[in-house]
Structure 1
Amino acid sequence: MSKIYEGSSRTGDFSEALRLAIDQAKTDRPEADPLITWHLAAVRGQHGGFAGLNQITVIIEVKQL
């Protein structure tokens, strides 16, 4: 069984978005120091336009034990 988590960065920082997704997965686990096994499910973003967007969202799939 697996579960989906996502993290977003408004500065277009892939590392920040990935860290936020992994942090969400960690808070969903009861262990003090959980091991998160994940794979990248999707990346999406927006860049430019009148609003000057630079957003990225990272979606990970986490294997549930």
Structure 2
Amino acid sequence: MIGLTPAQISPFVKQRLGFAKGKKLMLKAAQINGEEAVNIGLLILLVIKVLNLKSLNEKLKLKY
């Protein structure tokens, strides 16, 4: 779990989610997991376990 103060995280959240969605998420003050963060657009990729880092790196180069 990562806890960040609004002053640290709000510019990033606003940029990624927009003002309305970001405000709703921050005022709710609920914990979200990695899957939820991907679903709402806060993260672009969630890596649970990496067995072959070189392979993952190559896939990311092609995708992003």
Q: Does TM, normalized by the shorter one, top 0.5?
A: no
TM-score by length of 2: 0.24
Larger gyration radius, structure 1 or structure 2: 2
- Between Structure 1 and Structure 2, the one with more strand by share is 1
TM-score by length of 1: 0.24
- Structure with the bigger RCO (C-alpha within 8 Å, sep 6+) is 1
